[in-house]
Chain A
Amino acid sequence: MTAERTDHDPRIDPVGPVGPVGPVGPVDPTDPADPAEPLQARLPSLRPGDLERGRIPFELYTDEEIYRRELERLFYRGHWCYVGLEAEVPEPGDFKRTQIGERSVILTRDRDRTLHVVENVCAHRGVAFCRERHGNRRTLVCPYHQWTYSLAGDLQGVPFRKGLRRGGEVQGGMPADFRLEDHGLTKLAVATRGGAVFASFDPGVEPFEQYVGPTVLRYFDRLFDGRPLRLLGYNRQRIPGNWKLMQENIKYPYHPGLLHTWFVTFGLWRADNSARLVMDAHHRHAAMISTRGNAGTASEASQVASFKPAMTLHDPRFLDIVHEPWWGEPTAVMITLFPSVILQQQVNSVSTRQILPAGPGVFDFVWTHFAFADDDDAMIQRRLRQANLFGPAGFVSADDGEVIELSQRSFAAVPDRRTVVELGGRDAGDAVHMITEALIRGMYGYWRKVMEPGEP
């Protein structure tokens, strides 16, 4: 037996690989061996140039094969996905269970304070062994046969590895060439910046800063500038809609001024607010930067049906907004990091919104609200109070889930139709106003490039 055996050597593992099935490298778009069907063959209603100019086939949100391809190419390969905040695992031994795409992963903090992300699949029999969502452990142990891993995912011990000695005879045990180091948990690449943690199954993924790109990174750093964070808590919702709809939702800034009466009426986010929209060079990420205008002033933006000039609050503490120095001029910056997360700063409310797809027609949406460790009690209370605007019951955000669900209903029923995403033109670019859907067109231009096999 050779000591250099690979995990998948069929001579040694006749029942198939049991070790960590390594992630495959980044897609070579010109790979003639790419077995994927061309998009147009898969999606009969997709016409050339459609996605780039803003005609999105309903099938793009319902097709099972397209969804599987998205998991592989967007969530498991070539991209960084959000897994949490360092503040969720502050102490050595702390762990948090979460997901990337549909795959369960565990974020751990090692005894030397290093962060690891490992897949929650026991190398022995595949058990998703970690059941608690958070906690503190010295080791990770699978309950089925007590395979024991370090917090970094290395296999440390296997019961009966040397067999059982009975009457001077050794019974059973692992083969002599069984090596613990061949059977660790799948380890992911980890990137942390300013207290936010990202991971990738793809060992060849580009550096995180390059992945985000300098334009959007500037706004990322505005929020996660390295101050210690304080976890405030979670909200979790399941939305029966395609995951891309939530990315879209935070990529066209004029909708809040139509759908969300609170935003319009109190001037928090309105079509006539001063705004900038920026994207990374690939058009996959974006930031929408807005500066709060005057509430209640008459303008074309206040002619929309959702504007309510007579609306006042019985308790104005919902909008007890205090301008924080780190904001600079903008009062709200919404960042979409493709494909997995939205970073929210809406006045004093700051949160991450993680997208966990669960099939073509449903995703889970996890809100993690936080504060800064140096906030005083009044600021903590303010952030908690303003959280009433956001989340699954929020004065503002509750409607977003509702309209996404209603869109998905049509997509499933009428798959051959296409959406019309033409506001602001038929191309993609940055903007200095809100009246555009250019960021959505940019995202789908990128989506096509990654999803198309053998792209010339």
Chain B
Amino acid sequence: MNLTQRDWLFTVTGGLLVCLVLLPLVAMLFDLLRLGLPVLGWEFLLTAPSNAGRSGGIAPLLISTGWILLVCLSVAVPVGLGCAVFLNEWLLPESRLSRGIGLSLDVLSGVPSIIFGLFGYQVFAITLGLGFSILSGGLALACMVLPFIVRTSQQSLAAVPAGYRQAAQALSLSQTGMLWRVVLPTASPGIAAGVVLATGRALGETAVLIFTAGYVLRQPDSVLDSGRALAVHIYDLATNVTGGTSHGAATALVLLALILIATTSVRSGAGLWSRYMLEEKR
């Protein structure tokens, strides 16, 4: 077997494997489009659901989902980033505390989401008296996505070249100054990847939200109202509502589009911020 033959073999195998990976995605998209496209339209996005979701649209659910995500990220990102900075910048990497926190985070990221649902229900809804509300749901989701944000942020902080820190120290920058001007901007694409991961998980989550944010189809007036997220709606239409398949598929298409928009905007936002901090304000 000569070199070109081997190259050719690798190319073909690699291509086939990529196709194999993409096949489920394409098949799923095809199915969703076939079922959901006839329903999809501006009216679907702008009207309230009726008849348990078998007719009408998803307008209140878009608002509920947005609020839940907002609560979740505005709690999980600062706390997670802070924890990552503490782990990476203030603790020695092999200290007992650092390893202990790391281990608990890894355990936390392996906990099934239904546990976070029951925990959130018991703690936020019952004990703290927040009830079935967007606030309970967002906080429970924040607990669930926290380990992802901490772990990815910590890795990208650790990947900042040591030379950058040494240069900053040579210029006698304070710890905070170095963090704000050098380390965080350099690590921001990796941190953004963690936030993207968390956003995707949060938008696709049902088990946590059924028990916390709830099932109410009405448009929420405040974060203390219950509101149904898109993923919960899809789950309900697929399992409990006879004749809900096409509206469920259309909702799934909207959710996919939302995830796409959310992830690209987080990524480009982080890119812009990092460029602004590192280049323009030299």
Does B bind A?
no
Residues of B near any A CB (own CB < 8 A)? none
- List chain A positions with a Cβ less than 8 A from chain B: none
